[in-house]
Amino acid sequence: MGFLFLLVNSIYAQQEAQYSQYMYNTISVNPAYAGSRNILSVLALHRSQWVGFDGAPTTSTFSINTPISETNLGIGISAISDRIGPTEQTTVSGDISYTIRLSEKTNLSFGAKGTASFFSFDQYKVTPFQANDPKWKSLSSTMSPNFGVGMYLHSDKYYLGLSIPNLMESNFYNDNDIAINSQTRNYYFIGGYVFDVSNWVKFKPAIVSKIVIGAPVQLDLSGNTLFMNKFVLGAAYRWDAALSGLAGFQVNDALFVGYSYDFDTTNLSRYNYGSHEIFIRYEFIYKKDKLVSPRFF
């Protein structure tokens, strides 16, 4: 019973999938990012959180986004599978953005996101005496539609973004008016700036803040250093939660891979071996001058 209590609290605490390398996965929280790199970009990411902890979250993400030629529009499609204990939530989203050129180097993009979330509960993954509870047996997979909005101000040197990926609040699996899982509204603020330390070294601090009404503000701070436009090393801190080490390698003009490791700074560190996150980004380059530089965002 203690496991189920911890599990349910984890579901409430982590309303949407959590990432350490959010700076490469912006489209998952802000639809205005679609097409902002001026190139067809594909990203696959997997996160294993709290390794060694029974029922710990795992997240798999796939996204693709591109500008539409000769227009100010960008489009994107993404899919996220988020598993926590006996629950699984799969989210499929479509994004569209419109960009206004404010100056030669600065753009302001507005975006909208349409989402379908599929939530399921596997009663056979709970303890035997709980699996036999008639309450669990009556549950079946549920689909919930949603939509979100965002804005994204960006240039070659900095970016700022505000977004609400899910405007509608909904409950999954109501039982006598008690929701087993509740999807609430999340507000995101993101920002980053690139400093040219030298011709071969660039440093970018970044921030993402997530606000959920009735829950503590989540704040992630990171600093990444790009060496020779090839190697990325950095660190991140999730306020009152975790420390992370970040690394990335630009294999060639099209392929970029990255890895991060999180160490919990809470009491949960006694019960797990940290969190691992790996991603691959591939970009289809047709014109050399279309690739955004620097490659931080």
User: For residue range 37-92, what is the model confidence (pLDDT) as tens digits?
Assistant: 999 999 999 999 999 888 889 999 999 999 998 899 999 999 999 998 888 889 99
- Cα 293 from Cα 297, distance rounded (Å): 9
- Cα 19 from Cα 46, distance rounded (Å): 9
Whole-number average pLDDT of the chain: 85
246 within 8 A of 224, measured Cβ to Cβ: yes
Please report which confidence band the pLDDT of residue 134 belongs to, taking 50, 70 and 90 as the band edges.
Answer: low
pTM of the full predicted structure?
Answer: 0.85
The listed range with the strongest mean pLDDT (53-62, 174-183, 206-215, 275-284) is 275-284
Classify domain 2-290 by CATH number: 2.40.160.40
Buried b (16+ CB within 10 A) or exposed e, 80-117: bbbbbbbbbbbbebbbbbbbeeeeeeebbbebbbebeb
- Residue 295, sorted as left (phi over 0), alpha (psi -120 to 50) or beta, turns out to be alpha
Cis status of the peptide bond prior to 57, with omega within 30 of 0: no
What is the domain partition of the chain in residue ranges? 2-290
Burial level of 155, CB count in 10 A (0-12/13-18/19+)? middle
Q: In this model, does residue 233 exceed pLDDT 80?
A: yes
Task: Look at the block and give the residue holding tokens 């959180």.
Answer: 49
